[in-house]
């Protein structure tokens, strides 16, 4: 079974440029998460989707960050415009819907390492 797929794996951009990250969760996983991981830190939740609905976006800086999960499968996270402080690894994770008695385990993708120059 394929894991969580993310692309690109690496991205280098100039500040003020836009950037987008893509995530394909594990098949059948209804819940999708985007995390930000700064160097030497643990992941921090940006947004959580249940199917196509964003149920927790309280930590998403909405002035420059946006996300979507059309059709409740793949998701895209966008930054526009990017700032120097956005340099980090952006992780996507997915999990089964807990109400079905499935595992609450979050499966993480390899992440996209963003460098803003």
Partner 1 sequence: QQQVKQSPQSLIVQKGGISIINCAYENTAFDYFPWYQQFPGKGPALLIAIRPDVSEKKEGRFTISFNKSAKQFSLHIMDSQPGDSATYFCAAGSGGSNYKLTFGKGTLLTVNP
Q: What x/- string results for residues 53 through 92 when contact with partner 1 is judged by CB under 8 A?
A: ---x----------------------------------x-
At closest approach, how far in Å is the CB of 33 from partner 1?
A: 8
The answer to whether 11 contacts partner 1 (rule: CB under 8 A) is no
Q: What x/- string results for residues 92 through 111 when contact with partner 1 is judged by CB under 8 A?
A: -x-x-xxx----xxxxxxxx
Q: CA-CA distance, 112 to 36, in Å (whole number)?
A: 10
C-alpha closest to that of 105 among 47, 42, 31: 31
The answer to whether 115 contacts partner 1 (rule: CB under 8 A) is no
């Amino acid at each position: 079974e394929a894991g969580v797929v993310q692309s690109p794996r690496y991205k280098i951009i100039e500040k003020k440029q836009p950037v987008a990250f893509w995530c394909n969760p594990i098949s059948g996983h209804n819940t999708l998460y985007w995390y930000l991981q700064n160097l030497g830190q643990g992941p921090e939740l940006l947004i959580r989707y249940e199917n196509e609905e964003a149920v927790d976006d309280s930590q998403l800086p909405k002035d420059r960050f946006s996300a979507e999960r059309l059709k409740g499968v793949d998701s895209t996270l966008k930054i526009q415009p990017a700032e120097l402080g956005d340099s980090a690894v952006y992780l996507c994770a997915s999990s089964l819907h807990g109400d079905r008695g499935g595992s609450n385990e979050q499966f993480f993708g390899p992440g996209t390492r963003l460098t803003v120059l």
